[in-house]
Amino acid sequence: MFDFVSIDDYNSDTPYYFCGDTPPSFPTVISSSVAVVTFTSDAGHGGRGFKLVYRTQQKPLNDSHECGLAPSLPKRRHKRLIGGSPVTLGQWPWIVSLWEKNNFQCGATLLNSNWLLTAAHCIPKKINLAEWRAVLGDYLLTWEDDHEQSVRFSSVHIHPNYGQKAHFDNDIALLRLNITAQFQRTIRPVCLLHINTTRSMEQRLISRANCYVAGWGRTESKVLSEELRHMQLNILNLTTCNKTKAYNGGLTSSMLCAGYMKGERDSCQGDSGGPLMCQDETDKRWYQIGVVSFGKECAGKPTLC
């Protein structure tokens, strides 16, 4: 073995390797804000070692280009109940955890470098912004990783019609970050449907089975999940959901009904504020089509978004 230096780009699975006496003829460009430099020696000969010269450059933010890109999901369906299945780090890079002091409150979604989307019922009427924060790139609730970004809010915007009629109608809130989020492999925004999106694309998204919710909601053991989990849900006919005894006509046209009519799998307390997201079969990007709002018991009747 010889002496060498490896540079691991956090956004890539393939490190760069350098060895010998001849320096590289071109610069090595790292696309993320994190790089791991490792020097390895066989201790066979003495030498001056390697010299590293670097400079940083602010990467232009292009939210629309970055949005909705995530690693491929495993092909197996998720058969566990209520709590879903654990995900890998970076599987859903737009999922955010919301905290009041040191207490986890809800999930949220990164829309771009400045804004989060969550459920209005997650936010108290008289919120003290100094006590609230968001953890971008969160995976394990009780463990702080180097890839995470803890960010405060500069403002909170509740939907003006929230709570006026149906208790959970317009259950949406926007949170403005007090600093700009830095995108990397584990932190990037979800896509949103544009206001001019064709009806056919919207229907294509919600008619497919490839829709998921994700969060740290309660599992079969009735406690919050330590790790981020997800589950696949069906988008159900709103009229059909409205006819059930659980909702009895209380659902509005601004809501989506997702899950299974027989229960079995569902979002649960702790998943509130997180996204209902579907993958477009054409561009392979993930689009948020709803916010987890409420349901009738865990793994009971379908969830409303």
Confirm whether 121 is a catalytic residue: yes
The conformation of residue 237, written as its DSSP 8-state character, comes to P
**R_g (Cα) of the chain, nearest Å:** 22
Choose the catalytic residue: 32, 97, 225, 272: 272
| DSSP secondary structure letter of residue 3 | -
Measured CA angle at 160 (ends 159, 162), to 5 deg: 65
In one-letter notation, the amino acid at residue 93 is P
Token pair listed for 93: 């890079």
Residues forming beta bridges with residue 106, ordered by sequence position = 98
Q: Which of 217, 294, 216 is nearest to 255 (CA)?
A: 294
230 catalytic per annotation: no
Beta 95-100 vs 303-304: how paired, if at all?
Answer: unpaired
Candidates 171, 266, 267, 293; catalytic one: 171
What are the DSSP E strand ranges found in 25-131? 35-40, 85-86, 95-100, 103-110, 115-118
Of 63, 97, 121, 230, the active-site residue reads 121
Determine whether 171 is an active site residue.
yes
The catalytic residue positions are 121, 171, 272
